[in-house]
Amino acid sequence: MMTREVSGGFRDVGLPVEADRESDDIDLLGTLRALWRGRYWLLAAAVLGWGIGWYLANVRAVPVYTARAVVAMETRDENVVDLGNVVTALPGTLGTINTELGVLRSRGLIEKVVLALDLAGDPAFNPYLRAITDGRAPTEAEKAEAEAQALADTRVMDLLIDGVLGRLSVSNDQESYLFNISVTTTEPERSAEIANTLAAAYIDDQIEVKFHATEQATAWLTDRLNTLQGELEAAESAVEAFASENRMVRAEDLEALNLRINDARERLDAVRKDGAALVERRARLADAEAAGDWPAVVAAADDQQLRAALIEGAETPAFTARLEAVRARLAVELGRAEAQSATLARSVAVLDEDYAQASGDLVTYQQLGREVEASRAIYEYFLGRMKELTASEGNLRADSRIISRAAVPRWPSAPNKSRIMSLSLAMALIAGAGGVLLWDMLRTGFRTGAEVEAATGRSVMGQIPLVPRSERGEVLTYFVDKPTSMAAEAVRNLRTSVLMSNLDRPPKVVMLTSSLPGEGKTTTSIALAQNFTGLGRKVLLIEGDIRHRVFRDYLDLKKTKGLLSVLSGEVELAQAVERNYLIDADVLVGERAAMNAADVFSSSRFKALVAEAKSRYDVVIIDTPPVLVVPDARVVAQFADAVLYVVEWNRTTRRDVATGLKMMADGGIRVSGLVLARIDMKKLKRMGQYAGYGTYAAQKKYGKSYYEG
C-alpha cells in the first residue's frame, strides 16, 4: 500500500491512487467535462454514424412495402349439442381468437396461397429459381418448371411457405374480433396480392371446413337413417305378426270381461253363503230332533205345515211325514247349492284364465306399439336433421368476413430513413461517448491541481504553464523578456507558496525532484531561482543531478569547476559558483563523478556544503535527479527545508507519482508540496478544465490585461 502525507502524517493509498475517494457516486460534472474534452471525437463519431446511417438507409437498404387486410370474426351463441350446429359460427373466446390466429399462419393455408399465386415462379420466394435466373426475369418455361418442382418436391414447397411466413404478420386488435393480415415484400402489388389472397383463402377455408363437416354429418345421418329405418320396419313387422298370431281384444273388452268375472265371483259367494246356511239348518234340525226338542225342530225347519202338525202332536203321522218331507227338501236344496257352487267356481276359473291371457296379449301388443312409435320418432328426428343439413349445404357461410381489402401501398414501410439515421447517429454518439469515457478512465496523467491533491492527499503549491519555446536556452529568455507572462506569474505564485509554507521559519534550502526525467523540474528550478532574486534575495542554484547535467543547455556558463570540485576541496564554494546575470543568481553546476552519486550526497562534505550555502545565501535551490530512477533525491532531501515534487501535466502517471511519494515517505522525507508543470494551456482550454487562477484568467477577456505572452 502507498502512504500519503496529511497534516504531517501519512495515510494509506492504493493503486490506482484515486481508489480511496470517500464517495463512489458518479461525478456527473466530471463526466460532462470528459465528454467536453472529447467533443471533437464525439463530433467525428456523430458524422461517421450519420454517414453510415445515410448509406444504410439510402444505398444499402432495400425498400419494402407493407399491405394490410382486415378480417372480422363473427360470433353467435348456439347449442352445440344440436346436430344442426355443425355449421354454426365460432364462440368469441380468447382461446378461439388465438386458434384462428394460428389458422391464419398455418402452413396448409399458406400453401393454398402459394399455389393460388404461383409463387414458385417468383424468384423472390423461390431460392432455386433465383439461383437459376441470377437476377434476371425468369422465362415462362423456367416458371413452369419451378412450379412443377414445387409440386413434386416438398422441400421446395416448404421453402416457399417459409418465405411467405417470413413476410407475414397476423395480429388481433385488443377488445375486438378484428384480425390484421400484414404482408411485407419488395413489390407493393405483390404485398397487397398476398394479403388479399390469404384473407380470401381464410374465408374459403372456413366454408370448406363447414362443407366437409356437413358432408360428414350427412354421411353419418344417412347411415344412421338406414339403420333406424330397418329397426322401425322390424318393429312394425313384429306388431303385425303378434296381432295375426293372437286374438286381440280391446281395452274395453278386457274391462267387460273383468266385470263378468266380478259378477260370477259375487254369485259364487252368494251360492256358497246359501249352501253354508242350509248346512247350518240341517245341523240344528238334527240336533233338535235328537234332543226331542220339537219346538226347536220346528224353528230349525222354518216350515208352517210342520208347525201346524206339531200342534196336533209330535207323534202323529202327519208331523212325522211332514218332518221327513222337510228333511228331503233341505237335502235337495243343499245338493242344488253345491252343484251351483261348483259350476260357478269353474266359470270363474275359466274367466280368470281368459282375462290373464287377454291382459298379457294386450300388454305385449302395447309394448310393441310403443317400440314402433319410439323408432318412428327417432327416425323422423334424424330424417328432419338430414333434410336441414341437405338444405344448408347450398347456404353455408363463413364465420368471418373481409371488412377491408389490402390496398397497394404507395410508400415503402421500410426502411424508415429518419429512424435509421437517428439510430445510427445515437449509436455512434453512444459509442463515441463510451470511447471517450473509457479513454478518460484509462488516462493515467493529471490535468488539474484538484486531481493531484485528490489523488495524493498533498497540496499543489504551483501550477506552471508550458513555456512556448522549443529550445532550452530560450526558456529562461522567455521569463526575462516576459516578466508578466502567465508562466512567470505562475512561478511567482509557486515562490509565494514556498515562502508561506512556514511563516515562522521560511525555507532556505528548497529541493526539486520528480518521478521521471523530462517532467519540467529543471526548468522550474531555474525559473524559481530567478523569481527569488526578484525579491532581492541572494540565491544559489545547485545542479544536483550530476548524472544528467543540463544546466549548461539553459544557462550560458563558463566555469568548468563545480559541485564535485567544491566537495573534493579543490576549490572553494565562492570560487566554484558562477554568477549568471540572466537570472541574477549564483549557479553551482554539476560535474561527472567517479564514485556513486548517492555516496557523494551522503557524505559529510555535502552536508557541510549545504550548511555553508545556507550561511552565505538567502535561498538555496537544488535540482535533483528523478526519484524513481536513482536514490539521489532521497539523500539530498535530508538537508532540504522544503521538498517540491514536480509532476508533468497530463503525462506523469498516477502510479509513478504514488510510487515516488511512497519512496520519499519510506525514507522519512516529508514532501512540502507538488508542482504541476508544463501545462499546455491550449489543450487545457479545449478540454474545458481549469488548472488554477492562471487558466481561469486565460478564459476571461480581462485576463489579457494582467498577462502578456
In DSSP notation, 139-171 reads PHHHHHHHHHHHHH-HHHHHHHHHHHHHTEEEE
Residue 172: count of CB within 10 angstroms of its CB: 17
Look at residue 225 and tell me if it is in a domain: no
| Residue 259 and residue 369 share a domain | yes
Look at residue 278 and tell me if it is in a domain: yes
- Evaluate whether 541 touches 623 at the Cβ level (below 8 Å): yes
Asked whether the predicted pLDDT for residue 214 surpasses 80, the reply is yes
Kindly indicate the confidence band of residue 26, based on its pLDDT and cuts at 50, 70 and 90: low
Lowest model confidence (mean pLDDT) among 252-261, 266-275, 511-520: 252-261
Residue at 289: amino acid letter: E
Asked whether the predicted pLDDT for residue 180 surpasses 80, the reply is yes
Q: Which of 153-162, 440-449, 687-696 has the highest mean pLDDT?
A: 153-162
In this prediction, residue 18 carries a pLDDT of 40
In this prediction, residue 699 carries a pLDDT of 44
Kindly indicate the confidence band of residue 21, based on its pLDDT and cuts at 50, 70 and 90: very low
In tens, the pLDDT along 354-393 reads: 778 777 777 887 788 888 888 889 988 888 888 887 776 6
In this prediction, residue 350 carries a pLDDT of 83
Alpha carbon distance 214, 221 (integer Å): 10
In this prediction, residue 81 carries a pLDDT of 35
- Cell matching residue 269: 259367494
| Residue 667 and residue 604 share a domain | yes
CA 465 to chain centre: 55
Q: For the residues 109-119, what does the mean pLDDT come to?
A: 93
Alpha carbon distance 547, 615 (integer Å): 27
Q: For the residues 213-241, what does the mean pLDDT come to?
A: 85
Residue 148: count of CB within 10 angstroms of its CB: 12
Kindly indicate the confidence band of residue 9, based on its pLDDT and cuts at 50, 70 and 90: very low
Lowest model confidence (mean pLDDT) among 290-294, 429-433, 589-593: 290-294
Residue at 388: amino acid letter: E
Q: CA 240, 246, 252, 255 torsion: positive or negative?
A: negative
Look at residue 236 and tell me if it is in a domain: no
Bridge partners (DSSP) of residue 172 are: 179
Kindly indicate the confidence band of residue 248, based on its pLDDT and cuts at 50, 70 and 90: low
In this prediction, residue 12 carries a pLDDT of 37
Range of the domain at 334: 251-394
Q: Which residues contact 62 (CB under 8 A, 6 or more apart)?
A: 186
Asked whether the predicted pLDDT for residue 89 surpasses 60, the reply is no
In this prediction, residue 88 carries a pLDDT of 54
- Evaluate whether 35 touches 436 at the Cβ level (below 8 Å): yes
Alpha carbon distance 499, 508 (integer Å): 9
| Residue 400 and residue 389 share a domain | no
| Residue 94 and residue 47 share a domain | no
Q: CA–CA distance from 614 to each of 537, 573, 608 (Å)? A: 12, 12, 10
In this prediction, residue 249 carries a pLDDT of 58
Alpha carbon distance 704, 709 (integer Å): 9
Asked whether the predicted pLDDT for residue 432 surpasses 60, the reply is yes
State the DSSP H helix or E strand holding residue 495, giving kind and residue range, or none if neither: helix 486-500
Asked whether the predicted pLDDT for residue 444 surpasses 70, the reply is yes
Asked whether the predicted pLDDT for residue 66 surpasses 70, the reply is yes
Asked whether the predicted pLDDT for residue 55 surpasses 60, the reply is yes
| Residue 651 and residue 674 share a domain | yes
The SS3 assignment for 303 reads coil
The pTM (predicted TM-score) of the whole model is: 0.53
| Residue 567 and residue 510 share a domain | yes
Look at residue 266 and tell me if it is in a domain: yes
Q: For the residues 177-196, what does the mean pLDDT come to?
A: 94
| Residue 689 and residue 555 share a domain | yes
Asked whether the predicted pLDDT for residue 169 surpasses 70, the reply is yes
State the DSSP H helix or E strand holding residue 521, giving kind and residue range, or none if neither: helix 521-533
Among 458, 471, 453, residue whose Cα is nearest residue 555? 471
Look at residue 616 and tell me if it is in a domain: yes
Look at residue 409 and tell me if it is in a domain: no
Among 26, 40, 11, 1, residue whose Cα is nearest residue 435? 40
Kindly indicate the confidence band of residue 41, based on its pLDDT and cuts at 50, 70 and 90: confident
Alpha carbon distance 254, 228 (integer Å): 34
In the listed set 404, 432, 467, which residue is the last one of a domain according to the structure? 404
Residue 239: count of CB within 10 angstroms of its CB: 17
- Cell matching residue 188: 407493393
In this prediction, residue 175 carries a pLDDT of 80
Lowest model confidence (mean pLDDT) among 226-235, 275-284, 672-681: 275-284
In this prediction, residue 513 carries a pLDDT of 97
Asked whether the predicted pLDDT for residue 104 surpasses 80, the reply is yes
Among 367, 384, 428, residue whose Cα is nearest residue 54? 428
> In whole angstroms, how large is the CA radius of gyration of the chain?
67
| Residue 485 and residue 633 share a domain | yes
Number of domains in the chain: 4
In the listed set 381, 404, 427, which residue is the last one of a domain according to the structure? 404
% of the chain with per-residue pLDDT over 90: 38
| Residue 575 and residue 475 share a domain | yes
- Cell matching residue 353: 284364465
- Per the model's pLDDT, the better-predicted residue between 86 and 651 turns out to be 651
Q: What is the mean pLDDT of the chain?
A: 83
- Cell matching residue 700: 476571461
The answer to whether the peptide bond before residue 415 is cis (omega within 30 degrees of 0) is: yes
In this prediction, residue 691 carries a pLDDT of 41
Neighbour-count burial of 19, counting CB atoms closer than 10 A to its CB (0-12 exposed, 13-18 middle, 19+ buried): exposed
| Residue 526 and residue 381 share a domain | no
In tens, the pLDDT along 317-356 reads: 877 787 788 778 878 887 888 888 888 888 888 878 777 8
Write the DSSP symbol of residue 74: -
Look at residue 226 and tell me if it is in a domain: no
Q: For the residues 142-146, what does the mean pLDDT come to?
A: 78
Residue at 62: amino acid letter: V
Q: CA–CA distance from 161 to each of 118, 129, 419, 657 (Å)? A: 12, 15, 31, 69
| Residue 567 and residue 468 share a domain | yes
In this prediction, residue 76 carries a pLDDT of 55
Question: How do beta strands 178-185 and 65-73 pair?
Answer: antiparallel
The SS3 assignment for 665 reads helix
Asked whether the predicted pLDDT for residue 201 surpasses 90, the reply is yes
Q: For the residues 430-456, what does the mean pLDDT come to?
A: 86
Q: Which residues contact 438 (CB under 8 A, 6 or more apart)?
A: none
Domain of 123, CATH number, reads 3.30.1890
Kindly indicate the confidence band of residue 495, based on its pLDDT and cuts at 50, 70 and 90: very high
% of the chain with per-residue pLDDT over 70: 89
Backbone φ and ψ for 331, nearest 5 degrees, come out as -65, -40
Look at residue 455 and tell me if it is in a domain: yes
Domain of 470, CATH number, reads 3.40.50.300
Kindly indicate the confidence band of residue 701, based on its pLDDT and cuts at 50, 70 and 90: very low
CA 605 to chain centre: 79
Q: Which of 217-221, 393-397, 473-477, 489-493 has the highest mean pLDDT?
A: 489-493
In tens, the pLDDT along 152-168 reads: 788 889 999 999 999 99
Q: Which residues contact 498 (CB under 8 A, 6 or more apart)?
A: 461, 507, 510, 528, 642, 644, 672, 673
In this prediction, residue 341 carries a pLDDT of 82
In this prediction, residue 393 carries a pLDDT of 65
| Residue 282 and residue 158 share a domain | no
